Every structure is written in structure tokens, then in C-alpha cells.
Amino acid sequence: MMTETTPAVWALVDDRAGNRGQCLGVAEALGLPFTIKEVRYGRLGSLPNPLLGASFLGLTAKTRRELAGPWPALSIGAGRRLGPVMRRIKRLSGGRTRVVQIMDPGPAAGRGELDLIAVPRHDSPAEASNVMAVTGAPHRIRPDVLAAAAEIWGPKFAHLPKPWFAVTVGGEAKGRAMSSGTFADLGRRVCVLARKAGGSLLITSSRRTNTEGMDALLAAISVPAYVHRWEQGGENPYVGYLALADAVIVTGESMSMCSEACATGGSAYIYARDDFVTEKYARLHAELYARGLARPLLETESFVPWTHPRLNAAEDVAAEIRKRFLGDVSPNRP
């Protein structure tokens, strides 16, 4: 068990926004100093983990050079492709580095060498002493982050009638895509919700949202709205939406967006249909509904606000890390 006052922590982040957010969410929740290590994959990076073993073979030469001693007391990474990297770090450190993997690196991928693996409960994780099940995805949406975003974005929405409904729109995921008809259906539903309440919509697309689908959604909107289109660039109001909205509506194909919608402790709705949501994500939705963290967006929904405990698996993983590996060390951040 480590008892350093400020143990060295590495956060290994790759080019996938979801993985990056999960890793940094856990590192920040620890409340300890940490160093970000940018990870980029080379031509072997897509090989199955059992073939890569405990190695840096899937990394670019530049990344391999930057992953060098002195080795940290703790290394955190997210995503399947980091499994071999985490195992290699542990071996090079002589077993002294504790390695924490967010998401299962896959079967036959040396799970036993990883000190802690945090796996979403809807993925049906195997039972093992080094595996913990969490609800949803770790993320960076903490109360202090929301408060800061509210100060920045509040004046920009002040002209819109309340209540405010944030609509965070995804798109293609896991080989399934929302059709233009599905986008239009979502637009009609959120419009009905806002009209009945006399409020406004705060709408944003994402990098996975296709232009035609977003056009179809917006064509169905006939209430006051603030719209951000990801493809047009500019400052992204997403966190401001979460901070200020009276309710958050999210498309159900993104584990991260569903988890972040439940981070505020306020009303959260999930828009999900079988044509674009996989069975695995349907299990996540069912878990969120059962815990009272979210509700399905119905076609004739009338808004009645509710509250629930904030959801952030990053805090759960950080607490488990402190309990297992960090001894009496307390986070610097409350």
C-alpha cells in the first residue's frame, strides 16, 4: 500500500474523446497531482490485445520514448488499446506501479496483471478481486465545473423563456446511425416538451451528428432555441447547457452523454429507439431508469421536474483507488 504524501500519477490519454474524458475524470477525482501522458497508436495499434501482449508495440515511436522512467506510483488509462501499455508499464516498474484500467481490455488480455479494472455494469463484468462494476462512464462533470460554466453561459441564454431544456444530440455509434426521420421525431418530441412548459431549447450536436439529420431536427423546432452545431466550430456550450438547464435530454447511443446527463442531479431524459440503440446500451438505460437517475423521453411528455443523486463513476473509481492503493492520502480537492 502506498503512503506517499503526493504519489506520482500518470493519466494515459489517447485520441478518443470518450476515453480521454473517462481517464481524466478519474485522475481529477483523486484530487492528487498527476501528469498527462499523450498516447498515439502506430500501425500495429489495431492488433488484438492478446497478440500485443504486455508491450508498447502498438504505439508510435514518439509515445514509446515518452513512456519512460522514473515510473509513477499509479497509472490510469481508459480503453481496450491501453491494456497492453498498462501491463508493460507495470513490468518495467518491477511491479511497483499500480495500474488502473477503465473498461475491460478484453478476454485473454492479461487481466490478472492489472491492479484494478473498472467496467460498466451493463457490460456484465466477470467477477474477480481486481474488477469493480460501475454505473455508466466516469466523466469530468463535477459541481465545480458546472458552477464555472454557469457563470460563463448564463448571460448568453438569459433572453430565453424558462424552463430551459438541454438537447444533446449524437448520431452514429457501433455501426448504427440515426435516420433523418429519427432526428425529426426527436425534434418534435422536445418541441412538445418545451411548448407545454412555456420554455426554450438549448440544442447542441456532436462530432457524430450528420448534417442532414441535424437539419431535420431543427426543421421540427418551433419554440425559442439556442443552437450550437458542432461542425460549424466555435465555443461549445455543452457544459453550460448541463449547468443551466432545468432538464437534459440526450440521445441514447452514447454511454458518456447518458452518464453526463445524470451528473447534475436534475431531470434527465433519454431518447432511445431500437433502430439506433444497441442491446448493451438498452441495459444501461434500464439501469439508469431503475435507479431513478433518468427517464425515457415519451412522445407526449409533460415536464414535471425531479431530482436524484449525482452520477459520476469517476468518484467511485477514485474512492476505490484510494482505499486499495493510496493508504492515508487525502484528495486536495473537496
For the ranges 149-153, 168-172, 217-221, 235-239, the lowest mean pLDDT is seen at: 168-172
Is there a domain that residue 80 lies in? Answer: yes
* pLDDT attached to residue 277: 87
- Span 221-229, mean pLDDT? 97
Residues 290 and 317 reside in one and the same domain: no
Q: Is the pLDDT of residue 103 over 90?
A: yes
Read off φ and ψ for residue 136, nearest 5 degrees.
Answer: 75, -155
Beta strands in 19-163 (DSSP E): 35-38, 74-78, 98-102, 116-120, 131-134
Residue 108 has pLDDT above 80, yes or no: no
pLDDT of residue 7: 63
Looking at the structure of the chain, the number of domains it has is: 2
Based on the domain organization, do 157 and 262 belong to the same domain? yes
| Least-confidence region, from 128-137, 149-158, 246-255, 272-281 | 272-281
The predicted-structure confidence for 20-60, as pLDDT tens digits, reads as follows: 999 999 999 999 999 999 999 999 999 999 999 999 999 99
Q: Provide the 3-class DSSP secondary structure of residue 235.
A: coil
Which CATH number do you get for residue 94? 3.40.50
163 with 277, same domain?
A: yes
Q: Do 157 and 113 have their domain in common? A: no
C-alpha–C-alpha distance, residues 51 and 319, integer Å: 33
Give the residue carrying C-alpha cell 412555456. 198
Same domain, 98 and 203: no
Average pLDDT (278-294) is 95
Q: Which domain holds residue 318?
A: 9-139+313-325
